[in-house]
Amino acid sequence: MTIVIGILIILSVVAWIKAVMVSKKEGEATKKQLNTWVMIGAVLTVLSLSLMFIVSQNS
C-alpha cells in the first residue's frame, strides 16, 4: 500500500508541475488544458491524502 501512495504522490506532483507550466502560456486552448491538469492534480492529491489517512487508521 505504501508503494501505491508513493506513486500517487509522485503523479500528483507531476500534475501540479504541468499545471504551473501550462499556466504560464497564453491562449484559449491553454485554459482548457490548465483546467484539466488542475483537476488531475486535485484528484490525485485527495486520493493520496485519503489513502494515507486510511493506512494510518489501520496501523
User: Which 3-state string (H, E, C) describes 1-30?
Assistant: CHHHHHHHHHHHHHHHHHHHHHHCCCCHHH
Q: What is the pLDDT of residue 57?
A: 93
Contact 46, 5 (CB under 8 A): no
Q: Is 12 exposed, middle or buried (0-12, 13-18, 19+ CB in 10 A)?
A: buried
Question: Which residues, given as ranges, of the chain have pLDDT below 70?
Answer: none
**pTM, entire model:** 0.83
Q: What is the pLDDT of residue 30?
A: 83
